[in-house]
């Protein structure tokens, strides 16, 4: 199926950002062994990626506003459209030379997410979705996993930082999930976790403390792949609260039930 003009714009921006990230990632791998480490270099890679995304999207759709991790809110003359962008999701992986990172670009129209693109330039995996037309990986249609038995499921989460003060809850919930499913993963990229849920690689995913740019594109992917996305207690308002539970219907149910049981023990 040919891509819409809108998705073409988003894919062009994402692949341009991806090329810049991939180039800089090569340098980060070299800097691993330097005494100073790659920290400063990574924040400039992040800035470069942000600028490339904004410039490409501005050129294609001049009036649209932006919300990006690096630049914050940049209002446009068109008040109905806003790009929500994470130029480099999985920063810690990138910093450590782990190739699990992505650029994430979503479009919001009248406050609703209508399209999402997630691109990992190292694996050359391009995930695209537009509301009502399905989710795709490099042009191949995606469906969330069909596994129904929780003990066969592979689920994923993100670890809190020391500062979050949520390590105890994380440990309790991870224990609950590990006891009831086949396998637990912590990949370090919310955007890729959601893309992988859409692709049926992961059955489900949950995490706290996220921002809109971490999840906006991935939410469209999961929805268009037939999955469910809510906050961690089953409500719809994810982007405001910052916690997320996503998966196939069966995995989503399993996650919510397990989190509730683990939180009740706390
Ligand atoms: P980032 O790489 O762009 O920072 C890692 O668990 C995932 O959660 C990444 O997608 C990361 O995005 C995101 N994240 C957002 N806020 C975070 C925070 N305060 N601490 C750790 N990860 C965070
Ligand atoms: Ca992020």
Q: What is the pLDDT of residues 168-185, one digit of tens each?
A: 889 999 999 999 998 999
Q: What is the DSSP pairing of strand 78-89 with strand 64-68? A: parallel
In what helix (H) or strand (E) does residue 36 lie, and over which residues does it extend? none
In this predicted model, which residue has the larger pLDDT, 176 or 161? 176
**Distance of alpha carbon 168 from its chain centroid, rounded?**
24
Distance CA 140, CA 135 (A): 8
pLDDT of residue 239: 65
pLDDT at 140 over 70: yes
Q: Which band of pLDDT confidence, cut at 50, 70 and 90, is reported for residue 139?
A: very high
pLDDT of residue 36: 75
Ligand whose nearest atom lies closest to the CA of 46: 1
- Kindly report the protein residue whose alpha carbon is nearest to atom 22 of ligand 1: 160
In this predicted model, which residue has the larger pLDDT, 35 or 216? 216
Contact by Cβ (8 Å): 205, 256? no
Report the pLDDT averaged over residues 33-61: 91
Report the pLDDT averaged over residues 139-145: 98
What the block records as the tokens of 130 is: 């537009």
Tell me, in angstroms, the distance from the centre of ligand 2 to residue 190's CA: 7
pLDDT of residue 226: 98
DSSP 134-176: -EEETTEE--------GGG-EEEE-PPPGGGT-HHHHHHHHHH
In ligand 1, the atom with minimum distance to the C-alpha of 92 is 2
- Kindly report the protein residue whose alpha carbon is nearest to atom 8 of ligand 1: 190
pLDDT at 42 over 90: no
pLDDT at 165 over 80: no
- Write down all domains in the chain, each with its CATH number in brackets: 5-141 (3.30.540.10), 150-265 (3.40.190.80)
pTM for the complete prediction?
0.96
Residue 108 CB partners (closer than 8 Å, separation 6+): 81, 82, 83, 84, 114, 216
DSSP code at position 34? S
Residues with CB under 6 A from ligand 1: 69, 86, 89-92, 158, 161, 188-190, 209-211, 214
Query: Which residue, among 128, 91, 93, 100, has the nearest Cα to 15 in the 3D structure?
Result: 128
Kindly report, residue by residue over 185-243, the tens digit of the pLDDT.
Answer: 999 999 999 999 999 999 999 999 999 999 999 999 999 999 999 999 888 877 667 89
In ligand 1, the atom with minimum distance to the C-alpha of 190 is 10
pLDDT at 163 over 90: no
Q: How far apart are the first and last CA of the chain?
A: 49
Q: Mean pLDDT score of the chain, rounded to an integer?
A: 94
- Kindly report the protein residue whose alpha carbon is nearest to atom 4 of ligand 1: 91
Least confident of 59-63, 94-98, 195-199, 236-240: 236-240
Distance CA 153, CA 164 (A): 28
In ligand 1, the atom with minimum distance to the C-alpha of 186 is 6
pLDDT of residue 243: 92
- Kindly report the protein residue whose alpha carbon is nearest to atom 5 of ligand 1: 188
pLDDT of residue 265: 76
Tell me, in angstroms, the distance from the centre of ligand 1 to residue 4's CA: 30
């Amino acid at each position: 199926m040919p891509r819409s003009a809108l998705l073409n714009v988003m894919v062009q921006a994402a692949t341009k950002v991806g090329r810049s990230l991939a180039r800089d990632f090569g340098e980060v791998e070299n800097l691993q062994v330097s005494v100073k480490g790659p920290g400063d270099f990574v924040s400039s890679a992040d800035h470069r990626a942000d600028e490339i995304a904004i410039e490409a999207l501005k050129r294609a759709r001049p009036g649209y506003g932006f919300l990006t991790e690096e630049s914050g809110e940049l209002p446009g003359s068109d008040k109905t459209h806003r790009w929500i962008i994470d130029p480099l999701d999985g920063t810690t992986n990138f910093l450590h030379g782990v190739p699990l990172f992505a650029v994430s670009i979503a479009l919001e129209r009248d406050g609703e997410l209508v399209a999402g693109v997630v691109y990992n330039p190292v694996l050359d995996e391009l995930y695209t979705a537009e509301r009502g037309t399905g989710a795709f990986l490099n042009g191949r249609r995606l469906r969330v996993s069909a596994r129904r038995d929780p003990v066969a499921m592979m689920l994923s989460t993100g670890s809190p930082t020391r500062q979050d003060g949520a390590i105890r809850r994380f440990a309790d919930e991870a224990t609950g999930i590990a006891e009831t499913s086949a396998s637990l993963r912590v990949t370090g990229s919310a955007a890729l976790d959601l893309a992988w849920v859409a692709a049926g690689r992961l059955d489900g995913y949950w995490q706290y403390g996220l921002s809109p740019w971490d999840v906006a594109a991935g939410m469209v992917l999961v929805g268009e792949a037939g999955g469910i996305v809510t906050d961690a207690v089953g409500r719809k308002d994810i982007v405001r609260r910052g916690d997320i539970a996503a998966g196939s219907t069966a995995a989503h149910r399993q996650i919510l039930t397990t989190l509730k049981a683990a939180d009740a023990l706390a």
